[in-house]
């Protein structure tokens, strides 16, 4: 009789669509390997990707990003932007609480931003918010944190900006914009974020256990305002440095991983789903510390013989010959080609450039830094011949592996370099900003006041058509100046256990979102 009743109950569950038929509670803990152990979990001071990944699962901000880069409200009920783009207003949803039951208020967001800009905090991720009124003055200690242009109007958060910032909503999705409970923070006495016991949460999950060097375990936040939207029992983030991330996914220890092509191309597609994205463009660039390469005609001359060489290189399946600077899967990528059309041949350009510089400033033997990979070596073999045939210049390539290559690139130990451009967000300006004179990733030391001005206008623009035109101007300047030559696009591979549903992937900032994910265990 009991067996019959159980069978009937199970059938009723499935017919009525109850969640217990969608997934088994017994096996609904999601598992993911982080690349490192979080250094700390204070949203306003965290700098490492591991820490940010964990925090995105236990905190929520005013707004969040969808996979396509669009914005949706989270803690905010809605938002309005003034006509001049200088005021943003966010009324909060009702019944929001912290994990200890305290109400979440607009003051918690105000305090978070005051902490972010307080000199005592020593925060790092504030650059996106320098547009807030008095932000720089507070940061420099010339104004009090209470003077910052963020205030609570009842249970509404209001931002006043000094200048327009088209990316302000996107910036509010960052970890540094998460709220902070002033009372709890002050009671932590300088230990906030250093341990699970010194954190208060407002997201779908809380940290139940943090064993440093081993794992961070998350479980459902019982005080979350919308419990029906929490579809998994929790998440285990593993942090051991010696974990074999690829093998742990393949043997079922974890549910999702970013795998190299060599492994991703051989996984069992009966057990795993694969999502592929072109996220990186490999470019050849000229070190501006070689004074001859400050001459535009010289750079143009060197790039002209390279057209179509990349198409002659036999590539692996994760590489594609590039015809532009922006990776193809980057949203808002309206470029059809980034390659300049020059009304001259390479030798004429070279002769013209040599007349404008001191000949001895161009070494007769150049060294190109490249990663130690077959595709790059083949490309450079073709390039060597093209440059010798056209200019009589001998070029050696220096192929280094991983950390040695990274060190040489960052130190500027090269004449030319083949290096990757990977966007940190799903926007063309994320790539173009790498060429800013202020960028730490500007390995070529190329500087252009005109280009910096364009970037500043892109950041301040609130008009989509104007911004599109400015992005086009940035692309045009980079290509006509022959700052870099695009060589290959490269894919990244996200491999998921087939039972994993609703996992969010943001390939351009290497972010995963399991807040809405669950395991589907139906047979």
Cα–Cα dist 496/267, whole Å: 10
Where is average pLDDT lowest: 274-288, 305-319, 480-494? 305-319
Residues of the chain with CATH 3.40.190.10: 24-254+499-519
Domain 278-491 belongs to what architecture? Answer: Roll (3.10)
By DSSP bridging, strand 156-160 and strand 87-91 are antiparallel
The string of pLDDT tens digits covering residues 169-220 is 989 999 999 999 999 999 999 999 999 999 999 999 999 999 999 999 999 9
- What average pLDDT does the structure give for the chain? 89
The per-residue pLDDT for 352 is 94
Class of domain 24-254+499-519: alpha beta
pLDDT of residue 8 exceeding 60, the answer is no
Cα–Cα dist 127/136, whole Å: 10
Measured CA to CA in angstroms, residue 302 lies from 192, 322, 416 at distances of: 54, 17, 11
CB atoms within 10 A of CB 172: 26
pTM, rounded to two decimals: 0.81
Measured CA to CA in angstroms, residue 269 lies from 83, 148, 275 at distances of: 51, 53, 12
pLDDT of residue 16 exceeding 90, the answer is no
Distance of CA 455 to the CA centre of its chain: 18
**Which residue reads 């001998």 in tokens?**
394
The per-residue pLDDT for 248 is 94
Phi then psi for residue 262, to 5 deg, are -55, -35
**Residue range 234-245: mean pLDDT, rounded:** 88
Q: What is the DSSP string of 287-333?
A: -TTSGGGGSHHHHHHHHGGGTTHHHHS---TTEEE-SSSS-TTSTT-
SS3 (DSSP) at 360: helix
Measured CA to CA in angstroms, residue 370 lies from 5, 324, 400, 467 at distances of: 68, 19, 7, 34
The per-residue pLDDT for 302 is 96
**Residue range 479-495: mean pLDDT, rounded:** 94
pLDDT of residue 17 exceeding 50, the answer is no
Distance from the first to the final alpha carbon of the chain: 25
Count the alpha carbons within 13 Å of 340 in the hemisphere toward its beta carbon. 25
Residues of the chain with CATH 3.10.105.10: 278-491
Percent of the chain, pLDDT > 90?
Answer: 74
């Amino acid at each position: 009789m009991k067996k019959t009743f159980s069978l009937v109950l199970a059938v009723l569950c499935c017919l009525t669509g109850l969640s217990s038929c969608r997934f088994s509670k017994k096996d609904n803990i999601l598992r993911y390997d982080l690349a490192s152990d979080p250094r700390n979990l204070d949203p306003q001071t965290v700098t490492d990707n591991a820490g940010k990944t964990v925090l995105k699962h236990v905190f929520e901000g005013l707004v969040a990003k969808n996979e396509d880069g669009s914005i949706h409200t989270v803690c905010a009920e809605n938002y309005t932007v003034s006509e001049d783009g200088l005021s943003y207003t966010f009324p909060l949803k009702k019944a929001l609480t912290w994990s200890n039951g305290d109400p979440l208020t607009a003051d918690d967001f105000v305090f978070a931003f005051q902490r972010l800009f307080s000199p005592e905090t020593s925060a790092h991720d504030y650059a996106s918010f320098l547009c807030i009124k008095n932000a720089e003055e507070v940061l420099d200690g010339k104004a009090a944190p209470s003077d910052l242009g963020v205030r609570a109007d009842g249970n509404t958060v209001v931002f006043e900006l000094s200048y327009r910032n088209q990316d302000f909503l996107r910036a509010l999705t960052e970890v540094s914009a998460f709220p902070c409970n002033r009372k709890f923070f002050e009671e932590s006495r300088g230990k906030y974020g250093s341990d699970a016991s010194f954190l208060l949460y407002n997201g779908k999950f809380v940290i139940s256990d943090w064993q440093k060097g081993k794992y961070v375990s998350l479980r459902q936040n019982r005080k979350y305002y919308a419990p029906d939207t929490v579809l998994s029992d929790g998440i285990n983030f593993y942090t051991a440095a010696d974990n074999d991330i690829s093998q742990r996914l393949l043997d079922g220890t974890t549910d999702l991983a970013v795998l190299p092509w060599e492994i991703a191309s051989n996984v069992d597609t009966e057990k795993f789903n694969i999502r592929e994205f072109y996220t990186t463009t490999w470019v050849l660039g000229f070190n501006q510390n070689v004074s001859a390469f400050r001459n535009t005609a010289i750079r143009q001359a060197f790039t002209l013989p390279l057209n179509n060489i990349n198409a002659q290189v036999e590539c692996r399946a994760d590489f594609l010959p590039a015809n532009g600077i922006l990776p193809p899967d980057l949203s808002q990528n309206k470029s059809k080609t980034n390659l300049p059309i020059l009304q001259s041949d390479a030798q004429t350009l070279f002769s013209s450039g040599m007349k404008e510089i001191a000949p001895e400033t161009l070494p007769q033997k150049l060294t190109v830094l490249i990663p130690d990979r077959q595709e790059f070596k083949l490309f450079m073999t073709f390039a060597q011949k093209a440059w010798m045939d056209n200019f009589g210049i001998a070029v050696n390539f220096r192929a280094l592996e991983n950390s040695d290559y990274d060190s040489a690139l960052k130190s500027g130990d090269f004449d030319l370099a083949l290096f990757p451009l990977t966007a940190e967000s799903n926007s063309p300006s994320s790539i173009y900003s790498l060429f800013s004179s202020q960028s730490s990733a500007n390995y070529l030391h190329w500087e252009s006041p005109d280009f910096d001005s364009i970037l500043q206008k892109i950041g301040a623009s609130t008009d989509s058509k104007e911004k599109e035109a400015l992005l086009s101007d940035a692309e045009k300047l980079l290509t006509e100046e022959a700052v870099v030559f695009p060589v290959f696009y490269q894919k990244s591979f996200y491999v998921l256990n087939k039972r994993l549903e609703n996992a969010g992937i943001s390939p351009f900032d290497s972010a995963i979102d399991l807040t809405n994910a669950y395991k589907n265990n139906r047979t």
